[in-house]
Structure 1
């Protein structure tokens, strides 16, 4: 019984912590759910550790993809910057995907609104 308890404790403590196992974005420009007075000059993801960004897309409120000027290099980065076109008033969604240093696929999204 004691050895079973030790085995269970070992397994519990050896499981990766979710915050350690997967990289999360620490900040974005624009911030998630921001309401902006004008079109943003850039879209920026800041990460706590290097991540290979495999996709970064900007969608309008109808789901149409808008062109972003960005470096498509797949080298790991801690910051990803893309330049959007001039955006009209409306709500936009930024979708990103990447691969963490431990090989896990990571994805996320933010939304922001440009006010009229």
Structure 2
């Protein structure tokens, strides 16, 4: 019974080391650096473009905008190209209301990343 008690600190230390080593690469990724419109902003008119800038290259695999009338059609779709900036034009004039943008992508080293931002258009 005493052997089990002595091995617990070793098991805990090993698990802690493993968890830290797995977390460090995730912390090294640079996410978005800015958005257009800015996250949380309220704008007066339908934006001419909606997009995001990153601190490093990213291959966007999904970019969706939803608003008060559901999914927003966009002029442009993600491609296999790695970019530091990704912008699209709304396929229609956006009405007043709240909008959510959700994106997903692969970083340069192949890690999946996703995030989103919100903006509103004044009535």
2:60 to 33, 41, 53: 53
Q: Does 2:79 align with 1:95? A: no
Q: TM-score, normalised by structure 2?
A: 0.76
Computing the radius of gyration from Cα coordinates, the structure with the larger value is 2
Equivalent residue number for residue 26 of structure 1: 33
Given that residues 23 and 106 in structure 1 are in contact (C-alpha distance below 8 angstroms), is that contact kept between their aligned partners in structure 2?
no
Cα distance in 2 for partners of 1:24, 1:65 equals: 24
Secondary structure at 1:26 match in 2? strand
**More helix per residue:** 2
Q: Separation in 2 of the partners of 1:102 and 1:109? A: 21
Matched positions, count: 107
- Tell me which stretches of 4 or more aligned residues in structure 1 moved more than 3 Å: 11-15
Q: Deviations over 1:53-83 (max 9, x none)?
A: 0000110136x21111124321111000100
RMSD: 2.0
